[in-house]
Structures are given as C-alpha cells and as structure tokens.
Structure 1
Amino acid sequence: MKKIVIALGGNAIRSPRGDGKFESQFKELMIFADSLKKIVKKNHQIVITHGNGPQVGDILLQQDLSKDYVKPLPLAVCDAQTQGQIGFMLQQALLNSFQKSGIKKEVVTIITQILVDRNDSAFSNPTKPIGPFYTPGEAKEFRKKGIKMKEITYRSFRRVVASPRPKEILEIEAIKNLISQDMLVIACGGGGIPIVEIKNQISKIKNYKPIDAVIDKDLASSLLAREIGADILLILTDVKNVFLNFGKRNQIAFKTLTMEQAKRYLKEGQFPPGSMGPKVEAAVEFAERGGRTIIAHLRDFSLALSGKAGTTIEN
C-alpha cells in the first residue's frame, strides 16, 4: 500500500481550448474518476489537490461584470469558492464512479488555508496575472486604489498579485486524521488560501488573516506530500511529459530525470515560471525527501502510475 498525492491542474480540468461549461469540466473529472478507482481498489491512500486558475478567473470576471450591482469579494474568498466548487465536482465524480463499481469509500473536501511569510520577496514584486484584461484607462483607475496592474499585451492590462512560497498547512492534522480513517481527501485546492500570521503584542495569541496572493498549486502539493509522508506525488497537467526545448523542433521528451538533472535544467531556464517550472521545482523538493514525482497528462493517469507514461523525477 502506498500513499499518493495527486495534483490536478486547473487547465487539465478545463482546457483553455474547451468551452468552460460545467458539463465539460465534469466530463473530464468523470474520466479521471474512472481511472482512479483502479488505484483505489489496490487500497492505496489517496489525497487529491487541484489547481483553480481558469475557475478563479471566471469568478473574477463575473465579479467585474456585476460590480455595479454587487460588491466584489476578496481574492481569498474567491479561492475558497473554487475549493468548494471543484471539490464538489470531484466528490460527485468519484462517488458516482465508485458506486458503479461497488467501491465503498468516503470522499471529503477540506477547505485549506496555507501560511505564507508576509516578508516573502514575492510581495515586493507581484508577477502572477489574475482575472480579466483591462484597458489602459481601467488599469489607471485600479492603480489609484492601490491595485497592481501589468501590461500583458499591447494596451491590455491584468491585475498581478504575489505568488509567495507555502510555509505551513493549517489543516494538516485534520488531513492526516482523515487519511488515517481511510478517507479519500481533497485538499489544498488552488494552492490553498493564502494567509498571514498576526500576533497580539499583549496576549501573544496568534491570529490569521487572508492576503491577496496566489500560492502555486504544485509547490503546495509538494509541501503536503512531504508533510503526510507520501511515497508518490503525481502531477497531472495538459502535456504528456517534461520536455527539453519545449515547443521547438528539437524538443525532447524525458521519461526520467534525476534530481540533479532537474536542478540543472531549472537553473538553465528550460522550464518556464508559471508553467513547467514550478512543477519541476516541486518534484525536486519532494525528491530531496526521498519521494518520487511523476508529471503526466491527465488522460495518462493510470499509465503514469505504472511507469508507462509521463516523466518520473527522483533522487
């Protein structure tokens, strides 16, 4: 029996080429669920994490279109909404699939907060684009309110927020307890809800508050995998392998990478930030603790676990 963390990419659930409809996303998750039940039957302990980029982008766009009628919610609340949204979809897809096969397995989603350092250098240089595109005039108005904006393409601006490193998963003990009760746990959705610690100088009691940021889902998944003592971190995305010279005529697909090779290619800039970079970085961090990471396409899930697809990274 192995303990496996499976990280689903938000773009793998809803491809940018897809129509974005609930039914389309649910169909992708049903395909995943039908593959997962083969692993569940082997009594492996499973924890699922997921991205939320396209989904939280939809919520931010909805808020922007209705801002004259309904007050927009903070980014942290939007993150929490997607944890509930995608968690529900996963729970239902898994339960439906399990029931068809006579599998008795409880599935639970836990809203997850992740502590970040308010002094993380990412806060002094926000780079993570979120939400819809805006005109120069709209961007100017946002800047007056203290909101960071960046020109993404000519005269098209997006809001940018920090992407700090995850430090601590607040609900980690609850997650461990649920795993020990043989439940399939869905946690750390969208990289977790970013929070910072506030200490009362008089009582010394710790409090927490949300902060506008986006934690990388793969780095959060790697932290979770290390904290629960997982054997395998399976990162499912919308490409089949880790590639050298990706998108070029001379691109090469890796079947395996050592930790040292992965570090070297990261240093050379082979894996771009915001796409494959954090995935390989997450794999390196997990490998340093003796874990094995597999990066593969969502549809190749079963093949990847049996070593027949994707890229395996370990020490």
Structure 2
Amino acid sequence: MARTVVVAVGGNALLAPGEQGTYEQQRANAAAMAVSICALLDAGWRVVVVHGNGPQVGNLAIQQEMGRGEVPEMPLFSLGAMTEGQLGSLIAIALYGACGRRHRIAALLSHVIVDLDDPAFELPTKPIGPFFSEDAATRLAETRGWDITEDSGRGFRRVVASPVPKGFVEIEAIRCLLDAGHVVVTGGGGGIPVGRRGDVWDGVDAVIDKDYAAAELAHQLQAAALVLITGVDAVQLDFGKQTQRRLTWMDSEEAERHLTAGQFPAGSMGPKVSAAVRFVERGSGRVAVISTPELVVDTLGNTDPANESVGTRIFHGDSRQGALA
C-alpha cells in the first residue's frame, strides 16, 4: 500500500504579503501550490492536505463587524467553518486543475477536539487577520476589545486562543476517503474547534494551529510523513544573523535543544518544528519535512545529510532509521 503523507499549507501561502486577498489572487497562489502536491501524488504518496486560515478568518471577522448593523455576527468557530469551506473548495479546484483526471479530490469539513480547560484560553497567541501599524492596533484594542501582539517584525495583528488539538471527530470518514483513493482536503484552519459540554460536542471560540492539527491528524492516520510548507527552503539556525546556517538533517532531540535555546520563535518557525517533533516522537520510522512547495518531493527522498539543496528533514531522536524512510 502507498505511504500516506499529511501536507500542511499555511493560510499565508494562499494570501501572500502585500496582496489584498482577492479571490483571483488566492486562486493563483493555490494553483502554484497544487503543482507540488500533484508531484507528491505522482511520486506514489497518498496525500491529505491541511490548510491554515489565519489571514482569511481575521478578514472575515472584520467583515462581520462592519456588517453587524445589517446582519447578526457569527461566533469565531463558525467563521472558521466558513473559511474551511471557502479554502477547501479553492484548494480542491486548484488540485483538479493541476492534476487533471489523474486523481480524485474530496474536501471535508472537520471538527477538532480541544480541552475546554486548556490554558491557551487564558493567553491568546494565534495571529489572525491583516497586519496593522502600532497606532491602528492600539485603537482596535481599545475600541473592539481585541488582544493585539507584534508579529515577527512585520506589524501588529489580532491574536486569539489556540488550544492544543486532541483528535479529529471525523477521523473515520477521512480514513475511508483516503482508502478509497481520494486526496483529502480537511482540517482547514486547524479544524473547527469543539469541546465536550455534557453529552454533546459544542463549538469553541478559538483558532487551532494548523501545523499542530496536521501533526495530530498524521498521527491518527499512522502516516509515514508530515510535510509543513513554509516560505523558506529550510530551517535556519541564527536566522537573520551573520552566523545564519541551514539545517537539512535534524533528529528530534537536536530540534528540542534548539527550541529550548530560543532558535525558533513562536511567531515563525517554532510551531512547525514543535509539530514535527510531536509527530516523529509518537511513532518509529516517521519523518517530518519543513520546506517550500518546490522542494518537498526532493526533501522527502533525500538520504544525504550533506545535501544543502533540499529542505529540512526531522526524524526520531533514538535512531536515524527515520531519516532513511
């Protein structure tokens, strides 16, 4: 049976810096990304695509606020569902365009379980929506009651709670679609957050980090690989300094040391490296890849630690077996 890979695509990959976020702009970005996913399919992988929605859900929240005099506002988890449908359709259409009739695509809404007592609800950290100047951000915090933070030197953004994903409610449906030969697009925006209230699931106002959601889904599916798409070719140590250097081969213990040393900030590479470690540490022979769409296939197939033309591979700290998968 073909091996399974879960691919996590950021919401920013569909809405590039400086773009307004029109449908045409996002469609063009999705089309470029779809080419790389089709390359994975043609290489023999079974593929599940998880995507972010940070810019899109934040923009939708602004639209909701602007129109609240005409129509009622919806809760944040409902906006997450809307963007999961919107972007799932966008990605599915892009995959059909890139892959032709060679592969079948299914976009599926998914609910992701969170703990209602997760401390993340007391400390919002997940950036959503557009970037603002410091003055504009201060006004928004005062007038709308938003939590605002500076985001990696690029400006100020609204932040919301981002609890740890505990599992996918629709895991069996995802598995059935995958076994039936479909490319599955799911977990959009990290999935629709739900918590147990009494005997039923109920929506929770939060945005789950899509990298952590992808790692959880990959674990539940017993996937062989997790791919985390980003805007840089590979993970870098001392990023932005004269001593900056590329990492293309890293075990989970080394990755943990660099995380502890503060090499990978929470606002940029930190969640990706943490998600990769979480995935590979929960099963032998697994590999995680962090790279650009163009380098994913070559990075997955790389067995040379000295090869600096590919992205970053992360594998289990107890053995280098995962590096050779």
Q: Provide closer, same or farther for how the CA distance between residues 152 and 33 of structure 1 changes in structure 2, counting only shifts above 3 A.
A: closer
**Which residue type is aligned with residue 303 of structure 1?**
D
1:59 aligns with 2:52: no
Is the contact made by 2:287 and 2:313 (CA closer than 8 Å) also made in structure 1?
yes
Structure 1 residue 86, shift from structure 2 partner: 1.1
Match of 1:233 among 226, 233, 239: 226
After TM superposition, list the pairs within 5 Å mapping 1:17-96 onto structure 2: 17-96=18-97
Q: Give 1:176 deviation, angstroms.
A: 0.7
Alpha-carbon distance, 1:54 to partner: 1.3
Return the alpha-carbon distance in structure 2 between the equivalents of residues 120 and 234 of structure 1.
Answer: 26
State the shift of 1:160 in Å: 3.3
Given that 2:165 and 2:213 are in contact with CA atoms closer than 8 Å, whether structure 1 keeps it comes out as: yes
Contact 1:241 1:311 in 2 (8 A): yes
Contact 2:187 2:213 in 1 (8 A): yes
1:247 deviates by: 1.7
The corresponding residue for 1:300 is: 295
Separation in 2, partners of 1:281, 1:135:
29
What TM-score do you get using the length of structure 2 for normalisation? Answer: 0.85
Instruction: Tell which deviates more after alignment, 217-226 or 235-244.
Output: 235-244
Shift of 1:267: 0.8
TM-score (norm 1): 0.88
Return the match for 2:121 from 96, 100, 123: 123
1:148-173 deviations in Å (ceiling 9; x for gaps): 534659xx986432111111210111
Which whole-Å CA distance do the structure 2 matches of 1:49 and 1:192 have between them?
9
1:191–1:220 CA contact under 8 A, matched in 2:
yes
Residue 161 of structure 1 is matched in structure 2 by 160
**For 1:218 and 1:138, how far apart are their aligned partners in 2?**
28
Across the aligned residues of Structure 1 and Structure 2, the Cα RMSD in angstroms comes to: 2.1
Give, in angstroms, the shift of residue 137 of structure 1: 5.7
Mapping for residues 1-315 of structure 1, pairs under 5 Å: 1-99=2-100, 102-103=101-102, 105-131=103-129, 136=138, 139-143=141-145, 149-150=147-148, 152=150, 159-199=158-198, 206-288=199-281, 289-290=283-284, 291-307=286-302, 309-315=310-316
CA distance in structure 2 between the partners assigned to 1:178 and 1:121 by the alignment? 34
Superimposed CA distance per residue, residues 86-141 of structure 1 (whole angstroms, 9 cap, x where no aligned partner): 11111111112222xx51x2211111111111111111222334346556565345
- Preserved contact between residue 135 and residue 157 of structure 1 (Cα < 8 Å): yes
Paired residues of 1:4 and 1:45 also in contact (CA < 8 A): yes
> Is the partner of 1:16 in helix, strand or coil?
coil
| Alpha-carbon distance in structure 2 between the residues aligned to 1:109 and 1:98 | 15
Aligned-residue offset at 1:25: 1.9
Q: Is the 8 A contact 1:15 1:238 kept in 2?
A: no
List gaps (5 residues or longer) in structure 2. 303-308, 317-325
SS at match of 1:186: strand
Check conservation: 1:2, 1:231, Cα contact below 8 A: yes
Residue pair 1:195, 1:211 contacting (<8 A) in 2 also: yes
The residue type paired with residue 54 of structure 1 is P
Residue in structure 1 matched with residue 320 of structure 2 by the alignment: none
Aligned match of 1:203: none
Query: What SS is found at the alignment partner of 1:72?
Result: coil
Indicate how the Cα distance of structure 1 residues 158 and 239 shifts in structure 2: closer, same or farther if over 3 A, else same.
Answer: closer
Sequence identity percentage: 38
Residues 221-230 or 69-78, more deviating:
69-78
The separation in 2 between residues aligned to 1:2 and 1:157, in whole angstroms, is: 41
Number of residue equivalences = 300
Q: More displaced, 123-132 or 49-58? A: 123-132
- Contact kept in structure 2, 1:32 and 1:301, CA below 8 Å: no
Shift of the alpha carbon at 1:14? Answer: 1.6
In 2, Cα distance between the equivalents of 1:287 and 1:243?
A: 20
Give the gaps of 5 or more residues in structure 1. Answer: 200-205
SS of aligned partner of 2:24: helix
Q: Quick one: distance in 2 between partners of 1:115 and 1:251?
A: 38
Code of the residue aligned with 1:213 in structure 2: it is A
